[in-house]
């Protein structure tokens, strides 16, 4: 492969608020010509996320690839791929939220690195954040650092993993979205755990999002769109 | 989940010589009642490997699960899933053998850990070896150690990863197979890169296997079977 350039960045794009902010952050930092977006179809119940990701990449004018991962669904037993009530937030018997797929981000970033390796992207960008840490150990900086080392050794690929939202509150993420020109694209994102559009407004994800926009003092373009 | 016991071991079983030796090593160490086998269908060209893995687990009388991973085939561009000539051993332009799937073992072990987490296995066993290291950076102990840390942090699951073959030569692996009672099962394994049965005898994998049995002074039960 071409020597992977740290100045070419691949963004793991879920179609949500955080990864969309990261996409525009990367464009702001590296230039649209040096940014690509990668979305995983891992059998998520809310297929709308995949459409949102494609729409967002198109709006941002960056190349977009979708890769399938059928393994999580085969592993089973979690609310994001199975038909389990997400409102009962804590799954027995782990104490973790039942939206937790063990190792999901480890797998996403490892596959993203494999793709980046082939395509000459030296930097990965992911929207994980430990500030609003709610039982997702694979979102912490310490985990990302360990994973970076695994990938670096296992692929002989000294990839950089950027986590621009890691220490931001949701309100700070909204302000960052404004600063990097991502606000318009927020109207294209999907957050609602119940998969509703317009968003339900009362699930934990909708509430967290609304709180962030409210604290930032900025109207949510997604909410405005459906007014 | 139940507290994962280090005395319950999940073996990543490919259907080859090394992972089969590991399966019997695990049975010898933990007892058949505490061992399970996990095989990945990642779109390998030689589907016979999957049948071999199932046959071997059945012969060993341990529970066996097969999980799909459709992502590598979607990533494309490698000889183990695509129709590329494996005899031209070095792929351009990486200098790695063209059988190298970037991060393959990282992904296998991460999914194996996710499965182990759910099923209460505290130990993973993998047949990777760095002695016959031929360009597979994800087979080295250093990589496995880093991955163990990633999984431990990312899943909050302090899994042990056993690599009984790590520092053995192929001949020593054959002697270990004898010592743990795995020789009969060797007749059920698949090694040939060309997917032939009886094995072609002249591909790099067949040659490496034959050399190991010859140096150990033990006839290969797979070869004997087809005499």
Residues 6+ apart with CB under 8 A from B214: none
Q: DSSP string spanning A147-173?
A: HHHHHHHHHT---EEE-TTTT--HHHH
pLDDT, tens digit, 9 for 90 and up, residues A204-227 = 999 999 999 999 999 999 999 998
**All domains of chain B in start order, with CATH:** 5-185 (3.40.50.620)
B75 pLDDT band (50/70/90 cuts)?
confident
Task: Select from A14, A10, A19, A16 the least CA-distant residue to A164.
Answer: A19
Query: With left for phi above 0 and alpha for psi between -120 and 50, is residue A52 left, alpha or beta?
Result: alpha
List CB contacts (< 8 A) between B136 and chain A: none
pLDDT band at B136 (very low <50, low <70, confident <90, very high): confident
Supply the pLDDT for residue A101: 66
Res B1 pLDDT > 80:
no
At residue B20, does pLDDT exceed 80?
A: yes
Question: Are A111 and B75 in contact (CB < 8 Å)?
Answer: yes
pTM score of the predicted model: 0.89
Task: Provide the mean pLDDT of chain B.
Answer: 88
Which has the minimum average pLDDT: B44-48, B140-144, B155-159, B188-192?
A: B44-48
The helix (run of H) or strand (run of E) holding residue A18 is helix A17-30
Contact (CB<8Å) B77/A143: no
Q: How confident is the model at residue B91 (pLDDT cuts 50, 70, 90)?
A: very low
Q: Do B154 and A77 touch (CB under 8 A)?
A: no
CA-wise closest residue to A93 among B4, B36, B122: B4
Residue A113's SS3 state is helix
Task: For residue B143, list chain A residues with Cβ-Cβ distance below 8 A.
Answer: 150, 153-154
Per-residue pLDDT at B3? 63
pLDDT in tens, A129-175: 987 655 688 889 999 999 999 999 999 999 999 999 999 999 999 99
Please indicate whether residue B62 or residue A131 has the higher confidence score (pLDDT). Answer: B62
Tell me whether the omega of the peptide bond preceding residue A93 falls within 30 degrees of 0, making it cis. yes
Position B164 pLDDT exceeds 70 = yes
Which residue from B74, B101, B103 is facing A151, i.e. has the nearest CB?
B103
Indicate the burial class of A146 (C-beta count within 10 angstroms; 0-12, 13-18, 19 or more).
buried
* Cβ <8 Å between A75 and B94: no
CA distance A80 to A94: 16
pLDDT at position A136: 80
- Rounded to two decimals, the ipTM of the complex is 0.88
């Amino acid at each position: 492969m071409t020597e992977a350039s740290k100045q070419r960045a691949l963004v793991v794009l879920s179609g949500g608020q955080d990864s969309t902010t990261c996409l525009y952050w990367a464009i702001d930092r590296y230039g649209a010509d040096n940014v690509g977006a990668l979305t995983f179809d891992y059998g998520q119940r809310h297929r709308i996320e995949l459409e949102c990701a494609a729409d967002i990449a198109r709006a941002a004018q960056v190349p977009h690839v979708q890769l399938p991962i059928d393994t999580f669904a085969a592993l089973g037993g979690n609310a994001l791929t199975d038909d389990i009530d997400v409102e009962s937030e804590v799954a027995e018997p782990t104490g973790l939220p039942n939206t937790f797929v063990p190792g999901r981000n480890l797998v996403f970033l490892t596959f993203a690195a494999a793709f980046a390796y082939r395509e000459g992207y030296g930097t990965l960008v992911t929207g994980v954040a430990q500030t609003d840490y709610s039982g997702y150990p694979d979102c912490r900086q310490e985990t990302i650092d360990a994973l970076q080392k695994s990938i670096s050794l296992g692929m002989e690929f000294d990839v950089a993993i950027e986590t621009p939202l890691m220490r931001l509150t949701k309100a700070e993420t909204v302000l960052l979205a404004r600063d990097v020109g991502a606000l318009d694209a927020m109207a294209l994102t999907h957050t609602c755990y119940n998969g509703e559009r317009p968003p339900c407004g009362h699930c934990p994800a909708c509430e967290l999002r609304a709180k962030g926009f409210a604290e930032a003092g900025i109207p949510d373009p997604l909410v405005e769109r459906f007014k």
